[in-house]
């Protein structure tokens, strides 16, 4: 899945040509490596809202050099602004005043993060208006920033300030390399567990469907790295690859067709008897059967909906109904930007992936009542064997039509799933986060 254009653009002649012609410039992204610092340079923190003390506490715990005042000729790894104190449109000037003098001082692959109050939780209409306006600022900044930098908005409910650590660590680090222009909502919870940030899933069991290759294998590897015993599930035809993944991460393999009538019951029995239950369930299994609707057969429609959506619902019903998913458990669905924006020739696929988003939104209060969460990732163009088979021109358009001017990697989706799965992400519930480099398609 080599990106030859990106390779050329990184050469001397390539850089010159890109600059002169104004072509997309896909720079190498800063991705997480064990032992890396959270950010590569000092972090400038501004704003005087209710979340700023929590932000400073997170950065101090992560041993990050934090500044409160901009300095001449300084370079910053991240710019973080607490906008929760803005109560009307006039107050939005604070965004300009903070970011305007320093935005060019952001290092390559830097981070811009703004914290707000969820507009629907504001009692005053003018405050709600201003808080919603901040989203437009953040999404625009994601498109203006260059050299692999990202912009994110974190909407923090009143009383949820203590629960922002997991989200800030994810968004500021290289784990969020291909996530930009996103809105993450953090709600209040009774307690936020203390975790070992290197192995937050130690002692827990995770299930990943469709784990034999591609994004599923990367998710299994990330959860295993974070300490979980991962049950890797896929169809029997993928048994050899599945076993290889499970062996590589010290997990276990389960060959099962999740669309079969007995699959949810057998899966629940396996998890209960072998592992005493499960803590994290990642619904990654998915297929495509692309055709325009006029040419699509009923079997092509039914098979995609069965694997990508109905199987997830049936498994959730059994795991929740039989209490196989433990208290505080995590469910993560894999959606797609096709489920947000639609796509020609993918009416079946887009329907199923939009359904995953609906499942997340409808199950969020159910999981919250059990101390758990349900969220979804929505990948954009990710470099896999499937996208490698796409015709060249379509593939190049997919790679370039985002703020990063490049495709993402399976690990980018996996890191986002691992953040959702982290016990410290207890307040992150009902979110759909696009892993798409801020694609120009969709919302």
Predicted confidence (pLDDT) per residue in 174-197, tens digit? 999 999 999 999 999 988 899 999
pLDDT at residue 389, rounded to an integer? 66
Q: Residue 83 pLDDT > 60, yes or no?
A: yes
- Residues 6 or more apart from 429 whose CB is under 8 A from it? 187, 364, 367, 368, 373, 374, 375
pLDDT at residue 440, rounded to an integer? 83
How much is the mean pLDDT over the chain? 94
Q: Residue 99 pLDDT > 80, yes or no?
A: yes
Query: Which of 77, 67, 75, 70 shows the shortest CA–CA distance to 36?
Result: 77
Q: Residue 443 pLDDT > 60, yes or no?
A: no
CA atoms within 13 A on the CB side of 41: 16
Q: What percent of the chain has pLDDT over 90?
A: 85
**31-186 has CATH 3.30.56.10 classification:** no
pLDDT at residue 204, rounded to an integer? 98
**Segment among 6-15, 114-123, 324-333 with least mean pLDDT:** 6-15
Neighbour-count burial for 390-416, b at 16+ CB within 10 Å, e otherwise: eeeeebbebbbbbbbbbbbbbbbbbbb
Decide: 429 and 192 in contact? Cβ < 8 Å.
Answer: no
> Is-catalytic flag, 178?
no
Six-digit token string for 50: 């209710």
In the chain, list all ranges with CATH 3.40.50.720.
31-186, 205-435
Which CATH number is 205-435 given? 3.40.50.720
CA distance 376 to 229: 21
How much is the average pLDDT of 68-78? 94
CA distance 274 to 276: 6
Q: Given 5, 76, 178, 349, which residue is catalytic?
A: 349
- What is the band of 384 on the pLDDT scale with cuts at 50, 70, 90? confident
Radius of gyration of the chain from its Cα atoms, rounded to whole angstroms? 22
pLDDT at residue 388, rounded to an integer? 63
Of residues 388 and 314, more confidence is placed in: 314
389-428 pLDDT, tens digit per residue, is 666 667 777 788 889 999 999 999 999 999 999 999 999 9
- What is the band of 374 on the pLDDT scale with cuts at 50, 70, 90? very high
């Amino acid at each position: 899945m080599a990106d030859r254009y990106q390779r050329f653009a990184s050469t001397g002649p390539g850089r010159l040509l890109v600059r002169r012609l104004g072509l997309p410039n896909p720079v190498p992204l800063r991705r997480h490596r064990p032992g890396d610092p959270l950010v590569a340079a000092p972090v400038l923190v501004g704003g005087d809202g209710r979340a700023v003390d929590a932000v400073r506490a997170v950065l101090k715990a992560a041993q990050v050099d934090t500044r409160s005042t901009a300095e001449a000729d300084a370079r910053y790894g991240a710019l973080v602004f607490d906008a929760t104190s803005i109560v009307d449109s006039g107050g939005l000037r604070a965004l300009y005043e903070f970011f305007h003098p320093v935005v060019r001082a952001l290092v390559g692959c830097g981070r811009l993060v703004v914290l707000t109050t969820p507009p629907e939780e504001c009692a005053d209409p003018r405050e709600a208006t201003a808080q919603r306006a901040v989203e437009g600022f953040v999404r625009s900044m994601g498109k203006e920033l260059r050299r692999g930098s990202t912009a994110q908005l974190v909407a923090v409910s009143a009383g949820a300030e203590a629960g922002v650590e997991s989200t800030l660590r994810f968004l500021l680090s290289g784990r969020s390399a291909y996530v930009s222009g996103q809105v993450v909502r953090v709600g209040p919870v009774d307690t936020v567990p203390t975790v070992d940030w290197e192995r937050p899933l130690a002692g827990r069991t995770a299930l990943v469907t469709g784990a034999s290759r591609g994004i599923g294998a990367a998710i299994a590897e990330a959860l295993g790295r974070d300490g979980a015993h991962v049950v890797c599930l896929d169809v029997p035809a993928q048994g050899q690859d599945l076993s290889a993944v499970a062996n590589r991460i010290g997990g276990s393999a389960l060959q099962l067709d999740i669309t079969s009538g007995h699959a949810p019951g057998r899966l629940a029995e396996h998890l209960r008897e072998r592992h005493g239950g499960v803590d994290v369930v990642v619904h990654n299994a998915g297929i495509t059967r692309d055709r325009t609707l006029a040419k699509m057969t009923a079997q092509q429609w039914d098979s995609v909906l069965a694997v990508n959506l109905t199987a997830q619902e049936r498994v959730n019903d059994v795991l929740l109904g039989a209490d196989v998913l433990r208290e505080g458990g995590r469910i993560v669905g894999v959606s797609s930007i096709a489920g947000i924006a639609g796509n020609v020739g993918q009416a079946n696929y887009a329907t199923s992936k939009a359904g995953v988003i609906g499942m997340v939104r409808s199950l969020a209060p159910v999981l919250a009542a059990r101390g758990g969460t349900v969220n979804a990732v929505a990948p954009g163009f990710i470099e896999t064997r499937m996208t490698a088979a796409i015709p060249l021109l379509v593939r190049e358009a997919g790679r370039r039509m985002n703020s990063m001017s490049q495709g993402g990697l399976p690990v980018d989706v996996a890191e986002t799933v691992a953040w959702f799965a982290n016990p410290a992400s207890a307040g992150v519930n009902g979110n759909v986060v696009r892993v798409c480099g801020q694609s120009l398609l969709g919302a």
